[in-house]
Structures are given as C-alpha cells and as structure tokens.
A and B are shown apart, each in its own frame.
Chain A
Amino acid sequence: MKRVFLTILLAAMAHPLSAQELLSRVETRKVDGNGLFKVDVSFAVGELLVRPADGRLYRVAMDYADVFDPTIRFDPAGRSLSIKLDGEGGLHGEDLEDLGQRLSLDLPRNVPLDLTLEFGALEADIDLGELMLRTGKIRAGASHTTVSFSGATRGVCERLDFEVGAAEFEALQLGNSGCREISLKGAVGEMTLDFSGERLASETRLFIKVGLGEVRLRIPEAVGILLNADRFLASVSRAGLVKQGSAFVSPGYDGAKAKLIIEVDAALGSVEIERFR
C-alpha cells in the first residue's frame, strides 16, 4: 500500500510545469444613451484595477495567462457589459501567484451604473469616485481589496454591498458615495469602512454581518450614529455612544445633518468604532 501511494505521489510530482505565456487584450467602446448600464465582472485571480474613464467610454485591458479564456461581452441594446476571466485553468497555488495576471477596467463616468464585481485572490484597487453609481455589489475572496471614492459620485446611489471572504478589506471615503444603504458581510479578516467624504446621505443605513472578522468603522464626529447590535460572542465598541432604549446613539444625534444607522450582527468577531474630526 505504501509503495502504491508513493508511486502515485511521484507520478503527480513528475508532471512538468510549463511556463505560461501572458496574452494582452484591450477593448475600448462607447456606451450610448442615458439609460442604466449594467457591468458584471468576474475575475478569478490576479490584480484588479477599476477607475473612472472619460465621458461615455469604457476600457478593459487585461493581461492573462494563455490557459485562460476570457470573455468580454458588450450588449449595446441591452446596455450591459460582462467581463469574465475565471476558472483556474488547471493552475494552483504558487503558479497562480506567479502569473502576473491583471485586469484594468475604466468605467464610463457619465452613465448610470449597476456594478457587480466578483473576484478571487490577490490584489484589487477599485476607485468608484465620480461615477454615476446606482448600485454596487463587490464580492471579494481571499484578497487585499481597497475600494475608494476619490471624488463625490453623481446621481442617486441606492445600495452598495460588500461581501468579503478571508481578506484584508478597506472601503475608503464612503462619505463620497452618497449611497443610502451600505452592507458588509464578512467572514474572516480585517475590514475597514471609512466614512470620510462630502456627500454622505442625510440618512445612511449600514448593515454589518461578520463571522470571525474584525470590522473597524471610521466615522466623522459630525455624523450622528445610531447603533443596534445583535451579537453572540463578538465585541462591539461604543466610542462614546449613549444607551437609548435598546440602541446606542451619539450625543446630538437628532440634530446631525448626516446620520448613520448601524445594524450589527456579529458572531465571534469584533466591531470597533473610531471617530475623527
């Protein structure tokens, strides 16, 4: 039995690793009309960069290993763009890390967007500032992800959802997003939500559901906070909040121009609130 096992092991190890060739593809197109534009991105592994583009253009640039078969589907009539570079192409672990894959996506600045980004491993740097974001859904696997709003968005942002796996996740300048509802579902890892910015909605609802992760909330002092926490073994810091009924509120909550209503559902993780001027 031992010999059989070793034979199988040696046969598996003897499989040669061939070097992968990187291919490049760049697509630039115009998005006409004023209707909603749906963008759906699925990117398995590599570096992901998202930026606002000029006017009504979108631009997709990807470097990918030849074992992958990416698809870019633009439907002008249906007003949708689907980008897929997923599957592991038979590669694993260190081979995936060495690939040097990269997807750079420039989104049209002047078109209302429903954006869905789903990606697996490695790094993601996503800047959604100055876009006309209506809804955003970002699902990150095991990665280091930064989502930022470098400038104030335009139009009405209804909802922004983050689903984070085992990741180091930062959402910065959410105060520029203007989104009315923001949700964060996190499994494990460190997650930071920073609410600095100039366009925080008059009333923003924030839903946090966390398993084992640590969530850090950076909220300006001018923003009123109402906190409801449903926790099992998790710790939730209250940062000067005062108990009012079953909730905790910040002093001067009723008179605050921008209010953040936070619902926390935490099992074993921690939620920490940090205020700043």
Chain B
Amino acid sequence: MSHRNLLAPLGLVLALVIPATLPAQTAVAAAAPQVADQAVVTGTSSSVSAREASLTFFLSDGGQRVITLRDGAVLVNGEQIATYATDGDVEREWRRLVAWTATLSPDEAVAASRDWAVEGSFDGQDQAALRAITGQFAALTPDEVVTVAHGPPEHLEEALVAAAEAREAGRIARDEIARVRDVIRVNVRDRVRDNVRIAVGPEPHVSMVTPFGGLASGLLGLGGTFAALCAIAFGASFFAGKQIDVMADTVSTSFGRSFFVGLFAQPLILPALVAVLVGLTLTVIGILLVPVAIVAFAATLAAAVVGGYLAVARVAGSGLMQRLRGHHGTHPLGLLQSIAWGLAIVLAVWLPAILLGWLPVAGDALVWLAALVTWGLATTGFGAAVLTRGGVRTTFGRRFKPPELPAATMFEHPGPEISTGEWLSSKAR
C-alpha cells in the first residue's frame, strides 16, 4: 500500500469524527451539501414570526421548497431534516437571510441563498443543520443567472436592524397599550361594581307611581302630552289629513281587525329591522347605510304609531262631536277639532291614575289600567296603519257613511260608500 493509499482512509476518518466532536470556527457554506434534485425557481416567499422564519422557493414544475427554522428544527416541506440550537448564530443568520431575500427578485434570492456563508462557532448539530440548508440551496437554479453581493448591503443591513428594533418597539408599545387598557377596564369594572353595591345596598321601598310623577307634575305632563299631540295633529291635518281619515275609517269599521293586526305586528318589528340590517350588511356600501336605515325605520315606526293613535282619537272625537253638535265638523278645522276632542278623551284615562295614584293598591291598579287602555288604543291605531299601509289603502275603510246626510235621502239614493277623507274633500269643494 502506497503512502497516498494509507492517508486516504485516515483523512476520511478524521473528516467524519472531528466535526462531530469539536466546535469548529468555519464558514459552512463551503461544506459538502446534501444536494436535492435541481429545480428552476420562479418565485420566492419569506415569512417571519417570533416562532419561525421560513423561506419558500416556487419551482417551475409547480412544486415548491419550503425551508423553515422553527423551535430548533430545520424543516423542508414540513419534514424535519436537522436540528439547531435555538437563539444561536444559525437562527440569527437564517433570519437575516430570510429578511434579505424578501427584498430581492427570485433570481437574486437564489444567488444570495447559494452564496450564503455563515461564520461563527458551530457544534456538530449546527454544522449539520447548515449543511442540510445549504444542500437545499444547491439544488436550486435561477431562471436567469445574476450576481448578488455577499450579504445584504450595509444600508440594508442597518435598515433590517432598524426594522427589527422598530418591530420590537412596536410590540412593546402594543403590550403596554393592552396593559393600560386592562388596568382601565379593571378600574371601571370596580367602580361600576361599587356603584351597583351602593345602589342596591339599602333595599328601597318599591312602589308603583304614575308615569307623570306627583299630582301637579302629572297634570302638567298630561297637558304637555295633549299639547304635543295636538301640535302633531295640526301638522298632520295639513300634510296627511286624508291618510289619518282613511286610518280613522279603518278603526271605526274594522276595530277588532285593526287591534289584532297591531297585536300580531308588534313581535315582527324587531325581526323586520334585523332583516333589513342583514340585507344591508351584504354589501360594503350597504353597511354604511345601516345607521340611516335604523333612523328611517324608527321614524317610520313612530309615524305609524302616532298616526294610528291620532286616527283613534279622530274616531273618538268625531263620535263626541256628533253627539254634541249633530255633525262631525263641517268647517275646515273639523278634522283638527275632532282629533283634539278625541285626544282629550283618550288621554283622560290617565286622569284617575294621576289623581288617585297615591293610593297604595288602587293607585297602582289605575296606572296599569290607563297604560293598558293606552296600549290597546295605540295597538289598534298601529294595526290600522298597517292595514291601510299608512293611510294609503282604503280597502278596510270603505264602509264609512257620512252620518249627517239625511236618512231619507240615503234610503232613496244609497249612493257610493266613500271615506271620510273623500267626503271632507267634496265638502271643501
């Protein structure tokens, strides 16, 4: 055996044993890589988080090679091929490479990866990890051969360091913001808790009172409500007088139907609103119209309830005027006058509750009774508004007959059935 033949096995043994036993001061990129199949790279992807840093090469055959360093493991397409010491030089240099390639074109990223040279002290585990990674790089081919500097340029490196520091500062700031918010929330919660404890500590005497408070304030409140409703009626008589008449016709001729329609419509109010909002949220622009839709819905609902209530008052008032004067009111202010009389009647149900509300049991009962009657009348008016589509549809109010027409004339010439609105219009003409 020649001298050269004796040295060859010895060199092989040393090459296998020394790297595994002693830390080496070396540039590992030159070490013999574990070469995978060659593939042309058409794209790259870099992703970084606190836990992992990943570099993906998209290949011309539709495949991809994903190299990830996570929690001490080197993964290629999800399979572990080596391990490394966490928070060491390998991880630091890998993150630097990933950040750098993110600024490069795919061809440049391949060149930079293939030229990757890591300097430092590495034990056998880290050396094996570096060899495994560079082996993956060696299998990559750029679409076009380009040259790239060894490592990121100085200004880029500074930028990378600054970006890392800024990110860390941002993370600390966000943590601090979250901490301060939590402190504020805890304080607010404690204060609310204390207030609740103070409020509920001494058990208050629970007594039913009228919605209008004491006698004087109750009467003032009732008078104010009457004035406010009269003001609304005044405006409505100009702009929606016919609609109120149609609803009044419906109340007078289909009272029970109106009540039950109003009763069954009430539970549907919220689902209807929800349906409208869901429909709007299907589009970006629709979402922006949600506040407008809510306001419009509330306004429509309020108009239906108040209009219906005025229609009920109109029926009550016209009945009273018929009894007192023998007619419903033939002059132009007849509608308003009859509504005012009607409001006086329907609001009068609160008078006993206000005057006798101080009584221990009877007072509560009177308040409940007044509330129940008011709710019933409002429900009936609301039902009439629904039935007539806000006073537009006259189907349920056709049977109204003007009561002041002479009975004999009606008997001889029945004539068409008309609504109060039509009748008032003809009178005005």
Q: Which residues of A contact B (CB under 8 A)?
A: 3, 6, 9-10, 13-14, 16-30, 32, 54, 57, 61, 66, 72, 74, 76, 98, 100, 118, 120, 139, 141-142, 163, 165-166, 185, 187-188
Contact = CB atoms under 8 A, between A and B. Distances in A.
Contact of A28 (B47, B106, B182, B287): B106
B291 to A, nearest CB: 10
B58 A22 contact: no
A6 B143 CA distance: 65
Given A3-B200, A10-B189, A22 B47 contact: no
Contacts of A74: 43, 58
A24 B285 contact: no
Main secondary structure of the interface of B (DSSP, over half): helix
Given A20-B174, A185-B285, A25 B185 contact: no
B171 interface: yes
Contact of A139 (B102, B104, B178, B284): B284
Given A20-B174, A29-B43, A98-B174, A13 B105 contact: no
A13 B192 CA distance: 11
Contact of B44 (A13, A21, A28, A66): A28
A141 B289 CA distance: 12
Interface string B294-331: 00000000000000000000000000000000000000
Interface of B: 42-50, 56, 58, 62, 102, 104-106, 109, 143, 167, 170-171, 174-175, 177-178, 181-182, 185, 188-189, 192-193, 196, 200, 284-285, 287-289
Contact of A24 (B48, B58, B62, B181): B48
A29 B285 contact: no
Contacts of B44: 27-29
A17 B143 CA distance: 47
30 contacts: A3-B200, A6-B192, A9-B192, A14-B189, A21-B49, A21-B171, A22-B171, A23-B48, A23-B49, A24-B49, A25-B46, A25-B47, A25-B48, A27-B45, A28-B43, A28-B102, A28-B105, A28-B109, A30-B42, A30-B106, A30-B143, A57-B105, A74-B43, A98-B174, A100-B170, A118-B284, A139-B284, A165-B285, A165-B288, A187-B288
Contacts of A27: 43-46, 56
A165 B281 CA distance: 13
Contact of A17 (B181, B284, B287): B181
A187 B284 CA distance: 10
A95 to B, nearest CB: 9
B143 to A, nearest CB: 7
Contacts of A139: 284
B285 A163 contact: yes
A30 B46 contact: no
Given A16-B182, A17-B182, A163 B284 contact: yes
Given A13-B185, A165-B287, A185-B285, A21 B58 contact: no
A13 B104 CA distance: 46
A66 B106 CA distance: 26
B167 A22 contact: yes
B182 A30 contact: no
Contacts of A185: 285
B292 to A, nearest CB: 9
Given A27-B44, A66-B49, 17 more contacts: A6-B192, A17-B181, A18-B178, A21-B171, A22-B167, A24-B102, A26-B102, A28-B109, A29-B43, A29-B44, A29-B106, A57-B105, A57-B106, A141-B287, A142-B288, A165-B284, A187-B289
B285 A187 contact: yes
A-B pairs with the 4 shortest C-beta distances? A29-B43, A26-B102, A27-B45, A25-B47
B284 A24 contact: no
Nearest to A61: B102
Nearest to B188: A13
A30 to B, nearest CB: 5
Nearest to A17: B178
B45 A26 contact: yes
Nearest to B186: A14
B284 A120 contact: yes
B106 A19 contact: no
A158 B174 CA distance: 45
A13 B189 CA distance: 7
A18 B105 CA distance: 36
A24 to B, nearest CB: 5
Contacts of B48: 23-25
Contacts of B193: 10
A185 B283 CA distance: 13
Nearest to B182: A16
A54 to B, nearest CB: 8
Contacts of A20: 174
Nearest to B49: A23
A19 B171 contact: yes
**Most chain A beta-carbon neighbours within 10 Å: one of B109, B182, B284, B289:** B284
A9 B56 CA distance: 46
